[in-house]
Every structure is written in structure tokens, then in C-alpha cells.
A and B are shown apart, each in its own frame.
Chain A
Amino acid sequence: MQTVPEEIVLKGIPICRGVAIGRIFFLKHEEIEINEVTIHPQETQSEVERYRHAMERSIKAIKALKNQLVMESSCDGVMILESQLEILRDPILNEEIERKIQSEHKNAEFILQETLDQIKIKFSSLSNAFFLERYKDLHELSQRILGHLAEEEDIYKPFTLPPHSIICAKELNSIDIAGVNASFIGGFVTENGGSTSHAAIIAKSKGIPFITNINLSLLRAHAHNDFIVDSRIGKVILNPKEKTLKFYQDLKKQMLMQLDDFQEKVKWPTETFDGFPVRLLANLEIPSEVDLVHEFGGQGVGLFRSEYLLFPKNIIPTEEEQYKVYRNLTQNMKGLPIVIRTFDLGGDKLSVRESCPNNESLSFLSRKNCLLLQDENLFKNQLRAILRASFFGEVRILFPMISTFSELKEAKRMLQEVREELNISHLVRVGCMIEVPSAALNIDHFVKECDFLSIGTNDLVQYSLAVDRGNHQPGDFYIHTDPSLIKLIKFITDRANKECIPVTVCGEIACDPRFTPLLLGLGIQELSVAPRYLPVIKNAIRSTSIVEAVELAQKALSMSTAKEVMQLLIEDYQKNVPHDLTYNVGEH
């Protein structure tokens, strides 16, 4: 008698919203089975050729992946791929394998494995743990070569993936994600990883559902069936009942249709339905995403996070290197404005070091001193690169992490010095991030010195409520609706609007359409969101009435807990955009 396995629901923390249904694929755990085959002595030469051919294809695949990462200029992976290329070209390894194929008359797969096993033994005899670990690089490579020996055609993936696979891993790194073709991947499920990690940001930009904090050993026990990822609510459902599966299959179809529907509206004006105009801008990490900004009708880039240029090597690029990136970006904006934020070395982006030509006097750069005083040279180099790019379009400069008025004055003084040095006479607008409570409270002075302001809600929450951004807690869901944050936003916008200084909101909450009416009601007239969220936020703006939004904001301001405010926003969105299946999450 066959028993029907029980439906199991696991709760995790959603990183990127969506729904996926598919087979589990464990990254780095899937092994290709190797058979030992004896080759006829006359055919050993063609076996050697087969091996060489697989090596060439592996090299080609890694080069392609490397180029992709170079283009995205966003990954620490370029260097790792370069060393993988050298391993594939290793003369000793290749000679040994070819010699053994000829002398032992065995298939290439078997000889490869045998040779790598011997190397593994040598590596594992090393006393230094760091070198011991290097065997892992080899292992990953051997899977790639074996894949090519098995005549796999997909050059971007070292393994065969059934469509809609859900990738499970302890932790994902950016190479894992950069290399995947979004149309093959249903979703990601991991044990660890924060929502602000580089991998999470890339997953979001590719629009792949992602849940973290899930115990993988539970998944492994049920890996043979389709399972469901509902990252709208952070649920993973194993052994779904037929009814559950049907529900999610229908939901997925509807969500796809809805996405098309939202995307069709991107050319319509960005205004509330009672005619209040809103500027909808994009946040950018990866320069190549500019195309998406145009496609989805973004009115400019509200925040280019320049610190992502540091990722390939964790080294700060030279002025010239930066200038090239900023100039290309500016040209690709096709006349739309772009706000370039100077390096913000916070959160998981720490431990970056300056590349000094003489290798001496290296210093750790903390979040603050990178910007000001101690690192004046570094800061001025970046300003010079940005100002030089400003000849090619409308570039604005944004200072992050300013907490006192004197810091702002100091930053502006340095900017003025660089302007004079470069003989720049045209207007380059300057703004400041308001992301620490001290800056918010001192806003009356900031508005007099800035052409625009940008509220970084992620940090403002962190510094106002004393929470750790990387450390996920189940209660985090509500934190962004804490009344204190809403009051701060109101305080900032009231004063900025009085002086006619535009204020942009560029944090996570700007990407969540349920917050749109609240933000507009608080007086915000500009939102900056990841390009993929432009259609859904535009739809939210167009579904909002500014009169009702102001009333909603008044109501929220009178509330005492984050939970009450969240409930208010959920109900309001349900009423305004009842058909949005991604954000209206009813229990079924």
C-alpha cells in the first residue's frame, strides 16, 4: 500500500517576492555519476581528443561567464574564474590525464576522476587549512568538465538543470546567481543570507523568488517531488496536496498575466488618478541595467550605488576607471538625469581597501571616514570622475551617511575645490542622504545647502530603532511601518517641501506598492526603486488618489504601533489594487 506523503510547510524569510513551483536542485551537491569504461587501444587517441574538446568547451564556458561578470562589473567572481581558467590550462594536469588515457585505456571521465582524487589526497595532506580548501575549486571544475564530456550544450551552467528548478544551497554567492539564466530558474532557497547581500540584490534585479532561513536537511528528505516556494509570505511547501498545487499553478499563471498588464502601462503618465504628478526613478547597482530603466519607463536614475564598482576586486577603482563607468552610464541615460551617490561602504560592503600604487600606508576604510576628512584624496578622486562625466548628461551628486551639518559643509567644500580645479561652470546639483536621525532632526539647515534630498529608509530604520540590518528576525516585517519612521519622513518632507527642495525615497519601502499611498500622502513626490519594480509602483501610483493618500497618512501618523500601520496599508492596497496577487496575500 502506498502512503501519500504529508504536506509540510516551512517558514522562512522572504528576500524576493514571487511564486515558484519546481524540482529541488541542490547546488554543489549534485554529483555526476562516473562509469569505468575500457577503451580499445586503437580508440585511445580519439578519447584524448574527446577530453581536449571537453576542456576547450569548459574554457570557453568560463570565459563567457567571465565576460558576463566583467560587463556587469558587479562581481567578485572575475578573479576566481581567471584562476579556474588557469587550472583548466594546467600543463601538468593535462599531460597526466592524456598520458593515462593512453596507457590505461580507460575513458576520460574515469581518468579525470582518478587524477583529481590523487590531487585531492595531496591537498588533504597539507597542514594549512586555507590550502586544504583549494580542493573545492577543483571539484567544481571537474563537475564542469564532466558536464562537457557528457555533451551538455548549455554553456552557462556546469550542470544540467530541468526548467523551473528551485536552487537550494547553504548560501548563494554572486557567481552562482550571475551565471544562471533567469528563465531556467524557478527560485532560490537558502539557509543563510541577508536581504541586503550582493547575491540578494542580484536575485532581486533578475526577479527570482528567494527565501532564506530554511533548514535544508528537511528539504533533502523530500527532494524527489515538486515543491512550492511562496516568497510572498516566506513559505516553502513540500509534498503539496493536489489542491495546493492546483492553487499555486493557477496563481502563477495569473501573476504572469498581471505582470504583462503592469508592463503595458509603463508608457502612461506617472500620476495619481486625480492628477497629482509623481517622479518615478530607478535605483541602479549594475550599470547594464540602464536598459531596463528605459524599457520600464523610469524617469531617470534616482540612485546609482557607486560602491558596487568595488566588487570585482574589493579595491577602489582609479579616477580614470571610475570616469569611464560614469561617462558611459551618463551617455546611456539618453538625456534623463542620473544621481550618483559617492561610495557608501556600509553593511556587507565593509572591508574594502584602497588600492595604493606603492602598497604602503594602507588603511581600513570605515563607512564614515571613507567619505570625509581622513580620505580626502579618495573622495576627491571620485568627485573629479563624476564631475568630468557631468559634461555628457545631467549628473547629480549625492552624499551618503551625513549625520551632521558640518560634515555636509565639509563635503561641499571639497566639491567646490574640485570644481574650481576642473574649471567647471555648469550646474551640478548636489544632494544629501537623510538616513540618520540626527540629519533628519537638523533638516532645516540641510534644506538650505542641498538641491535635493534622498531618504534612505533602510538605514533610517536601523539607526532610529537600533536594529541590526543583516540579522533577520521574524518581526522585521513590521519594522518599516513603525510610527517613529513615518513621523520622521513627515518631518523631513514638510520642511523640504516648504523650501521647494525635492525629496526622494529610495529604500526598500519605495519598492513595496503597499507603501506608495502612504509616502505620497506624507508629501513625497519622488520614488526611486529597483528597475524591475517600476511597473508595479507606477501602477500603485496610478491607482492612488492623492486626497485619500493624505487622509491615509494622517491616520497612520495617529497610530501607535507598527503592526497597526501595516494592517492599514495592507487593507488600503487591497482596496486600491485588489487584483495584485504578489502583494495582496490572502490565506488560502
Chain B
Amino acid sequence: MKLVNKVKVKNRLGLHTRPATVIVQLLQNCKSSVAFTYKGETINAKSILSILMLAAQKNSTITIDVEGEDADRIMEKLVIAFDNQFGESF
């Protein structure tokens, strides 16, 4: 199964260390492959360094590609995580 979705970065500091940590932790046991595309660059979302190097700032839009057996569940989790600012209240 392959799913594509667009999400917005709401965190004040963008996709910085803390959100990036939450993302890779969330993808730890995920069976699907997950890619983020931002400004024409596509990266493996299981790599924290790659996420940081996107340097996605607040209000930027990220395209999420999930492909694999648990794509459903993973996409839902990611969308919720982006939406609630990765549990970060500032």
C-alpha cells in the first residue's frame, strides 16, 4: 500500500531536534518505507540527520510518502504528530 499526504510544520522552531527525535522514535518499528519531500528534496524519514538537514521551518509544507504493510497506521500517527506539534507546547 502506498499513501501520500501533505502536512504543515507548526512548531515554532520548525522541524528541529526535538520533533525530528519524535519522528524517528515513532518510526522505530515501522515496516513501511517513509520519505519526506520538502523543496524538491526527498529524504528517508527514519534518519534524524536527514530530517534535520531539510531545515524545514515553521509553516513549511512537507509531503509524506509511506509505502508498506503498515502504511495506514504510520501515516495516521505522523499526521497526528505533526498536528499536535510533536507534544511540544511552544
Chains A and B belong together in one complex: yes
Chain A interface (Cβ < 8 Å from any Cβ of B): 79-80, 82-83, 86-87, 89-93, 119, 122-123, 126-128, 130-131, 134, 137-138, 315, 353-356, 359, 362
Q: What is the CA–CA distance of A83 and B46 in the complex, to the nearest angstrom? A: 13
Report B-chain residues with C-beta under 8 Å of the C-beta of A87: 48-49
Q: Which of A90, A123, A359 contacts B47 (CB 8 A)?
A: A90
Whether the Cβ atoms of B90 and A86 lie closer than 8 Å is no
Given A92-B49, A130-B16, A362-B90, 14 more pairs with CB closer than 8 A: A83-B18, A83-B48, A86-B20, A86-B21, A86-B48, A87-B49, A90-B24, A90-B47, A90-B48, A90-B49, A90-B50, A91-B46, A131-B53, A134-B17
Which residues of chain B from 15 to 40 have a CB within 8 Å of any chain A CB? 16-18, 20-21, 24-25
> How many A-B residue contacts, CB cutoff 8 Å?
67
CB proximity of B38 to chain A, nearest CB, Å? 12
What residue of chain A has the Cβ atom nearest to residue B54's Cβ?
Answer: A131
Interface size on B (CB < 8 Å)? 23
Residues of B within 8 Å of A91, CB to CB, are: 44, 46-47
Chain A residues, CB < 8 A from B7: none
Contact status of A315 and B13, CB under 8 A, knowing A92-B47, A92-B49: no
Nearest opposing residue in chain B for A85, CB measure: B21
Question: Quick check: is B61 within 8 A (CB to CB) of the other chain?
Answer: no
A86 near B25: Cβ-Cβ < 8 Å: yes
Residues of A contacting B: mostly:
helix
A420 to B14, CA, bound (A): 45
A-B contact pairs, 20 of them (CB 8 A): A82-B21, A83-B21, A83-B48, A86-B20, A87-B48, A89-B24, A91-B47, A92-B49, A93-B49, A126-B55, A128-B14, A128-B55, A130-B13, A131-B52, A131-B53, A131-B55, A355-B89, A356-B89, A359-B84, A362-B89
Residue of chain A at shortest CB distance from B47: A92
CB-contact partner of B16 in A131, A138, A354, under 8 A: A131
Residues of B within 8 A of A356 (CB): 89
- Please indicate the chain B residues that have their CB under 8 angstroms from the CB of A82 in the complex: 21, 25
How far, in whole Å, are A127 and B21 apart by their CA atoms in the complex?
22
Q: Are B90 and A83 in contact (CB under 8 A)?
A: no
- Expressed in whole angstroms, the minimum distance between the Cβ of B18 and any Cβ of chain A is 6
Q: How far is the CB of A88 from chain B (nearest CB, A)?
A: 10
A89 CA / B50 CA spacing, docked (Å): 12
B3 CB to closest chain A CB (Å) equals 21
Q: Would A353 and B90 count as touching, CB distance under 8 A?
A: yes
> What is the minimal beta-carbon distance from B7 to any residue of chain A, in angstroms?
16
Question: Whole-angstrom distance from the CB of B17 to the nearest CB of chain A?
Answer: 5
